[in-house]
Structures are given as structure tokens and as C-alpha cells.
Amino acid sequence: MTDDQLIEQFLAGNLQAFNLLVWRWQKPIYNFALRFLGNAEDAHEVTQKTFIKAYKKLHTLKDRHKFNTWLHQIALNLCRDENKRRRRRTFISLDQIEPKWQSRLEKKTLPGVEGATVEKALQQMELQQILQQALERIPEEQRTVVILKELQGMKFTEIAELLGISVNTVKSRMYYGLNALRKILNQWNIDREAIYDDL
């Protein structure tokens, strides 16, 4: 059953149709928020809020084919709100966010862990953390486009519509975002070959 049909059924009073939409879209929205905020707890909260808002406002969605874009738009706004709250809440100096995994990664060893499989799994986790932290370092507008394109698999036109900007601006932000990520990873002296080997 398509999203359109589920929306129609929900608007006709079928609550289970909305639960099917939640079941279908919870994971993408959660991962979007997770990559945007870098925190599972906050991502879970934003996901919850996104669906609560969608539940209340779904009747205002004019073009039901754009449910995906509309839902991401809600999630994005909530993520931005969450970021603003964080900025008000905490001020951390740059010295405090020195990556702790760097030295261990370079040595390619994990203290107190034996066995290649366990070590590889842990290194994979650390590499994911590296990428997540690199994502959090690039400007928010670039990060948004990178996540929507690369992780959510949206088309450039969909992203442009979601953000209310031109397709060329989206491509430009994507270009600068990827370059910025590359520079950050280079600054951290991440051994590119090692990353490929481990992943």
C-alpha cells in the first residue's frame, strides 16, 4: 500500500494506517536526526516529535506524493530547534573536543581486547564515530544537504524543494560539504587506506 493510500485511510479515521506510515518512516527519520544531531537520545526524541506533529498536521499536507519531503522538513526544523537549544545550554571550547579515538586508530590496536574479529568490530564503531564527528564539524547547511543526499538518498530536486533553495545551490552545498569533510579527515591524519581496509 502506498503512502498516499495510507494517508487517505488515516484521514478517513483509520489510526492503524498512520501506524503503518510510522513503521515505514521511523527508521529513515531516526537516522536523519541521528546524523544531524549525533546523539541517539536526542534523535529518538526528535523522531517522536516529528511523528506527533505529522499526526496533528497531516490534514494540511496538500500534495500527498510529497509526504517523504514533508516529513523530513518537520524533522529538519525540529533538529534545528534542538541545535539552538544545545547552543544555549552548553559552550564547549575547541580543546575539549579533541578526538579521543585518534591515537588508538593510528596504532590500530584496542587496549584490553583480544582477537581480530572483536578488534575489527570495535574499529568499525570508532570509524563511524569519526565520520559522525566530521559531519558535525561542517556547517549546518552543508551537513543537511550531505545527509539528505548521501544518507537519505534524496534527489537534488527533492532537497531543493525541501529547503526552499535552487538545485544549483543544493549541488554547491554538497560539493563544499564533501570537500570540507575530506579536509577534516585529512587534518585528523586518518590513514585512508586503513579506513578502507577496516571497513
Partner 1 sequence: MTCEQARSRFMDFLYEEIDAATRQSLEAHLQTCSECRQEWEGLRETRALLQKLPQLEPESRLAFTAPPRRSLAEWWRDARNLLPQSGWARAAFGTVAALLMAIVAASIVNLHIIYDHGRFEMRAHLFQSPAPVPTPELQEQLLTRLRREMSDYIAEIHAAERAAQEEKLDRILTAFARDIERLEQQRENDLMLIGQELDAIHRVTHLQFGETNQMLQQLVQQISFQER
Residues making contact with partner 1 (CB under 8 A): 15, 18-19, 22-23, 26-28, 30-31, 34-35, 40, 44, 47-48, 51, 55, 127-128, 131-132, 146, 149-151, 156, 171, 174-175, 178-179, 181-182, 185, 192, 195-196, 199
Which distant-in-sequence residues (6+ apart) come within 8 Å of 63 by Cβ? none
CB neighbours of residue 54 within 10 Å:
22
Residue whose CB is less far from partner 1, 90 or 189: 189
Phi, psi of 148 (to 5 degrees): -65, -40
Name the minimum Å distance from CB 139 to partner 1: 16
Q: Report, in Å, the least distance between residue 197 CB and partner 1.
A: 12
Q: Name the minimum Å distance from CB 98 to partner 1.
A: 21
Query: Least distance to partner 1 from the beta carbon of 172, Å?
Result: 8
Closest contact distance (angstroms) between CB of 51 and partner 1 is 6
Distance CA 199, CA 194 (A): 8
Give residue for cell 564539524.
137
Q: From the CB of 91, what's the least distance to partner 1, in Å?
A: 28
Three-state DSSP at 189 gives: coil
* Residue with smaller CB distance to partner 1, 91 or 196: 196
Which one, 97 or 125, has the nearer CB to partner 1?
125
Place of cell 529547503: 163
Asked if residues 15 and 55 have their Cβ atoms less than 8 Å apart, the reply is no
Nearer to partner 1, 23 or 84 (CB): 23
Given a contact cutoff of 8 angstroms between Cβ atoms, the answer to whether 174 and 185 are in contact is: no
Q: Of the two residues 47 and 144, which places its CB atom closer to partner 1 in the complex?
A: 47
163: its cell numbers: 529547503
Q: Which is nearer to partner 1, 87 or 149 (CB)?
A: 149
